């Protein structure tokens, strides 16, 4: 198991208490099944989380999935991408910092962020990019669709051997409102809880 930063460990402890209903667990079971099947012949599962702008939900999903996998000692590599390039939204970045990640920014226009979850692991490098960007996998991977728009408007994803819909509501609806930080943190915690459920299930 990874030795997470203290504040991040507290957030994970909170996420482990978030209830996940039966219908949602059925959605996540498809992802669990894919990872287990890839592990059986000793292959490393590759997960590419995809939403339209690769700015909020897919970034949350990649970062929490990689963190949850490290926490439970599951060997996977997580990526993210979109169908349009924008930027990793600063509100989502701020939410992750509130959760306890250490984040370093490089550049100003579509900046790259180094996201650290412990002192010893390499950072997750996060920035907005297309799902087929050269840092993302070209060999068989699971395309995990985190938003309805991308799922419905991107019918073909090259090299994806499976497509799994794990959709989340967009916190963008609360931008520039009094609820902004609360709603971003709420969505982040939901995704953390579900990714912890996925990778805990891999070990059971």
Residue 192: what pLDDT? Answer: 98
What predicted TM-score, i.e. pTM, was given to this entire model? 0.96
Average pLDDT over residues 134-152: 92
> Distance of CA 13 to CAs 68, 87, 122, Å?
12, 30, 23
Query: pLDDT tens for residues 19-71?
Result: 999 999 999 999 999 999 999 888 899 999 999 999 999 999 999 999 999 99
In this structure, the strands spanning 46-50 and 141-145 are parallel
What residue ranges do the domains of the chain occupy? Answer: 6-203
Helices in 119-179 by DSSP H: which ranges?
Answer: 148-153
Looking at per-residue pLDDT, the higher value among 2 and 45 belongs to 45
pLDDT in tens, 101-121: 999 999 999 999 999 999 889
Average pLDDT estimate for 142-160 = 86
pLDDT of residue 43: 87
Q: In what order do the strands lie in the sheet with 46-50?
A: 77-81, 46-50, 141-145, 160-165
Task: Report the mean per-residue pLDDT for the chain.
Answer: 95
Tokens 């198991």: give the residue: 1
pLDDT confidence of residue 136: 97
The pLDDT, as a whole number, for residue 42 is: 82
Closest CA to 52 of 24, 80, 93, 90: 80
Q: What is the pLDDT of residue 159?
A: 87
**Does residue 93 register a pLDDT over 80?**
yes
Query: Looking at the predicted structure, is the pLDDT value of residue 1 above 70?
Result: no
- Express as a percent the part of the chain with pLDDT over 70: 99
CA nearest to 92, candidates 1, 189, 195 = 189
CB 142 within 8 A of CB 46: yes
Indicate whether 203 pLDDT > 90: no
User: Domain 6-203 - what CATH class?
Assistant: alpha beta
């Amino acid at each position: 198991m990874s030795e997470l930063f203290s504040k991040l460990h507290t957030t994970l402890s909170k996420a482990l208490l978030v209830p996940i209903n039966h219908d949602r667990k059925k959605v996540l079971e498809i992802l669990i099944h894919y990872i287990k099947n890839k592990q059986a012949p000793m292959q490393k599962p590759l997960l590419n989380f995809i939403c339209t702008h690769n700015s909020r939900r897919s970034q949350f999903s990649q970062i929490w999935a990689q963190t949850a996998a490290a926490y439970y000692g599951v060997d996977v590599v997580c990526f993210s991408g979109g169908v349009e390039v924008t930027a990793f939204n600063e509100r989502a970045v701020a939410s992750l910092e509130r959760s306890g990640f250490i984040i370093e920014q490089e550049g100003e226009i579509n900046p790259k962020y180094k996201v650290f979850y412990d002192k010893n692991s390499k950072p997750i490098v996060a920035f907005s990019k297309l799902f087929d960007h050269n840092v993302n996998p070209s060999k068989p991977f699971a395309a995990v669709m985190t938003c309805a728009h991308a799922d419905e408007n991107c019918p073909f994803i090259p090299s994806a051997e499976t497509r799994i819909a794990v959709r989340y509501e967009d916190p963008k609806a609360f931008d520039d409102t009094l609820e902004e930080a609360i709603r971003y943190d709420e969505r982040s915690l939901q995704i953390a809880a579900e990714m912890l459920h996925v990778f805990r299930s891999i070990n059971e």
